[in-house]
Amino acid sequence: MVAKRELKFIKSLHQKKHRSLSGFFLAEGVKVVETLMDAGWEPRQLYSTSATGNFPTAELISEKELKSVSTLKQPNQVLGVFKIPPERPPEYSGWVLALDRLNDPGNLGTIIRLCDWFGIREILCSPDSVDCYNPKVVMASMGSLAQVQVHYLPLGPALSESGLSVFGADMDGVSVSAFSFPDEGILLMGSESHGISPDLRASLTQSLNIRPFANPGAESLNVGVATGILLYELRKQQPFTQK
């Protein structure tokens, strides 16, 4: 049985303020926990409902206890408490992704996973974007959080100081299928509801649009889907090179 004090601590990590104060975050599920550990992220503590499997050092936790501290409707056997890694300045080389006022945890987790897939190692987030250590973001990223550095900083100064051209997703932009991507730059994606902030539009070198193949009146694409399409088009022209 896990001590009540420890269960209270685990549950407190659902909230950003307690993650910030303690310096720890939650990761749930076998695949997510394994991927983080394989990347060298050592957990403060692991909890598992079974003594067997790939986590021999995990502390046993009952299904009832796990459900009481999990963020999932159907808890997934293993939960890990990991230390938030130290921050470092962003590296403005190659291609960088910037996210303006992204609010949905699922979208951010998906985008982190996409960046890992397409070899984008730096994400710049506006300070009012969802926290990348939100348990739902961690789950949706499927461990790719260990491969992609996420920074929170005012985007206006960051874009201007980067020395890179900035390309933003916008309904009025040029078709991405006809655009020639340079060797490096920043791809800027706007919020789910409002797109790119008016004050950041002045930073754009060029806006890009994903043209519909069929119904021009169809609802605009989810930001995660749009990011995936743009990164695919980018990597067709500028393949990823391992540093």
pLDDT of residue 58: 93
pLDDT of residue 175: 94
What does the pLDDT average to over 164-193?
93
Q: Pick from 202, 200, 210, 214: which is nearest to 234 by CA?
A: 210
pLDDT digits (tens, 9 = 90+) for 3-55: 999 999 999 999 999 999 999 999 999 999 999 999 999 899 999 998 766 78
Residue 172 has pLDDT above 90, yes or no: no
Cβ atoms of residues 55 and 31 within 8 Å: no
Q: Pick from 69, 75, 85: which is nearest to 14 by CA?
A: 69
pLDDT of residue 34: 94
Quote the pTM value.
0.94
Assess whether the region 4-83 and the region 95-237 belong to the same CATH fold.
Answer: no
Cβ atoms of residues 195 and 170 within 8 Å: yes
Sequence-distant (6+) residues with CB within 8 A of 228 are 114
Bridge partners of 48, per DSSP, are: 60, 78
Model confidence at 243, pLDDT cuts 50, 70, 90, reads: low
Q: Pick from 210, 238, 226: which is nearest to 93 by CA?
A: 238
Integer Cα distance of 215 and 45 in angstroms: 51
- Kindly report the average pLDDT of the chain as a whole number: 93
Structure tokens at 125: 């987030």
DSSP conformation letters of 2-38: --HHHHHHHHHTTSHHHHHHHTEEEEESHHHHHHHHH
Token pair 């950003």 is at which residue? 16
pLDDT digits (tens, 9 = 90+) for 117-142: 999 999 999 999 999 999 999 999 99
pLDDT digits (tens, 9 = 90+) for 52-68: 667 888 999 999 999 99
Q: Apex CA 151: angle with CA 79 and CA 188, to 5°?
A: 115
pLDDT digits (tens, 9 = 90+) for 179-232: 999 999 999 999 878 889 999 999 999 999 998 888 777 777 899 999 999 999
Q: Which CATH number applies to 95-237?
A: 3.40.1280.10
pLDDT of residue 52: 61
pLDDT of residue 56: 85
pLDDT of residue 150: 98
Across the chain, how many H-helices and E-strands are there? 9, 10
Q: Would you list the domain boundaries of the chain?
A: 4-83, 95-237
* Fold category of 4-83 in CATH: 60s Ribosomal Protein L30; Chain: A; (3.30.1330)
